[in-house]
C-alpha cells in the first residue's frame, strides 16, 4: 500500500470496534475493516454481538469478525478508509 492517508484512524478504529453496540446502533452507516463491507446498522441482529467485560461488541454480519465501526466514531465509512485500516490491523 502506498502513502498512508488515514493513519490517524488506526488507533481509533481499534477502540471503536470494541464494546460498540450502542455506538453502532446510533450510526447511520457502518463498516467492517476486516472484510470491508459497508452496510446499514439495521442489518445487525441480536445474534451479531458478543458480551465483553463492560458492554457488547458487534460482530460483522458478513464475516463474523469484531472489526465493525459506525460513523458515530468519527471515522469515515468508505472503502478506501476501511482498506487502509485493514492493511494496518491485519497486514
Res. 3 pLDDT band, cuts 50 70 90: confident
Contact present, 33 and 69 (Cβ < 8 Å):
yes
- What pTM was estimated for this model as a whole? 0.93
Question: Is residue 17 over pLDDT 60?
Answer: yes
Give the residue among 73, 87, 91 at the shortest CA–CA distance from 31: 73
**Cα dist from 91 to 9, 12, 73, whole Å:** 16, 17, 23
Backbone torsion region of residue 86, taken as left when φ is above 0, otherwise alpha when ψ lies between -120 and 50, otherwise beta: alpha
pLDDT, residue 2, reads 63
Res. 1 pLDDT band, cuts 50 70 90: low
Contact present, 75 and 24 (Cβ < 8 Å):
no
Question: Is residue 87 over pLDDT 60?
Answer: yes
Amino acid at each position: 500500500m502506498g502513502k498512508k492517508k488515514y493513519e490517524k484512524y488506526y488507533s481509533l478504529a481499534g477502540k471503536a470496534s470494541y464494546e460498540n453496540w450502542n455506538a453502532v446502533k446510533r450510526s447511520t452507516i457502518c463498516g467492517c475493516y476486516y472484510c470491508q463491507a459497508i452496510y446499514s446498522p439495521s442489518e445487525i441482529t441480536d445474534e451479531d454481538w458478543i458480551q465483553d467485560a463492560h458492554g457488547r461488541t458487534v460482530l460483522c454480519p458478513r464475516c463474523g469478525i469484531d472489526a465493525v465501526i459506525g460513523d458515530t466514531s468519527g471515522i469515515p465509512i468508505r472503502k478506501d478508509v476501511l482498506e487502509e485500516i485493514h492493511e494496518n490491523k491485519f497486514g
